[in-house]
Amino acid sequence: MMKNVVEVRDLVVVRGSREVLPGISLDVPAGVTGLLGPSGCGKTTLMRCLVGAQQVRSGTVEVLGEPAGSAPLRTRIGYVTQAASVYDDLTVAENLRFFARVLGVEPAQADEAIASVDLASHRDQVVARLSGGQRSRVSLAVALLGKPDLLVLDEPTVGLDPVLRRDLWELFHRIADAGAAVLVSSHVMDEAERCHRLLLMREGRIIADGSPDEIRERTGATDIEQAFLHLVETQPSGEGDAA
């Protein structure tokens, strides 16, 4: 059995004057893990900690057995933020070749990454003229350069239509099947069913973790949205993390 890809223990993060993560602990195993919770609950802050982009007050964050942010992790983690991270005035292929150079990976990997997100037929198109879903896939392709072992995706399906969302989730599963751990955040609870495992988050705490089936069974709910509401009602805010 593989060790967890991510292990977070007693993590405290303060942003501005607010304790955004008040001592969170969680694990992320292989497969597709959904980090679900309402807007502002701290999903982005947690993801920033995993990729080493967030100042932390205390606690530990280990990724692939190394402290988050350490040099060996640089090409082993792919991160797609909510903001566009590719150049609109370059083509798909130009973007990928540019980032491949920046990351110091083989140029051939640019073509592989383009193919893996199904954009080969758009490789010479300028990003500005792509649809929203295609543009998201360009960012995803960049994150796949270096063949990361952990892919961290911050609300990658927000604003996309149901067909594009389904296609992207299929892609996340293909990436996970190829061996990477995929952590996907969302504030849309109906994306839960698409994950192997869920971390339900509220006010900087994990209020449940397990497979969608386990969480539904544990709460007696018919769907994850109901399960979340049940957990919120039975676990007053500010009290202990789930086991």
Ligand X SMILES: Nc1ncnc2c1ncn2[C@@H]1O[C@H](COP(=O)(O)OP(=O)(O)OP(=O)(O)O)[C@@H](O)[C@H]1O
Binding site for ligand X (CB under 6 A): 15-16, 18, 20, 37, 39-45, 187
> Toward ligand X, which CB reaches closer, 21 or 151?
21
CB-based contact 20:204 (threshold 8 Å): yes
Residue owning tokens 């960012």: 139
Residue 205, C-beta contacts closer than 8 angstroms, at least 6 positions apart: 22, 24, 240, 241
> Toward ligand X, which CB reaches closer, 19 or 66?
19
Neighbouring CB atoms inside 10 A of 68's CB total: 23
Rounded least distance, CB 138 to ligand X, Å: 21
CB-based contact 173:32 (threshold 8 Å): yes
> Toward ligand X, which CB reaches closer, 16 or 162?
16
One-character DSSP codes across 75-111: TTEEEE-SS--S-TTSBHHHHHHHHHHHHT--THHHH
> Toward ligand X, which CB reaches closer, 37 or 146?
37
Indicate left, alpha or beta for 230 from its phi (over 0: left) and psi (-120 to 50: alpha).
alpha
Angstrom distance (rounded) from CA 203 to CA 177: 32
Rounded least distance, CB 187 to ligand X, Å: 5
Rounded least distance, CB 136 to ligand X, Å: 15
Q: Read off the tokens for 111.
A: 């073509």
Rounded least distance, CB 120 to ligand X, Å: 31
CB neighbour class for 240 (10 Å; exposed up to 12, middle 13-18, buried from 19): exposed
> Toward ligand X, which CB reaches closer, 54 or 219?
54
The single-letter code of the amino acid at 163 is: V
Rounded least distance, CB 213 to ligand X, Å: 25
> Toward ligand X, which CB reaches closer, 24 or 150?
24
> Toward ligand X, which CB reaches closer, 21 or 138?
21
Rounded least distance, CB 161 to ligand X, Å: 19
DSSP code at position 149: S
Rounded least distance, CB 101 to ligand X, Å: 30
Q: Please tell me whether residue 143 adopts helix, strand or coil conformation.
A: helix
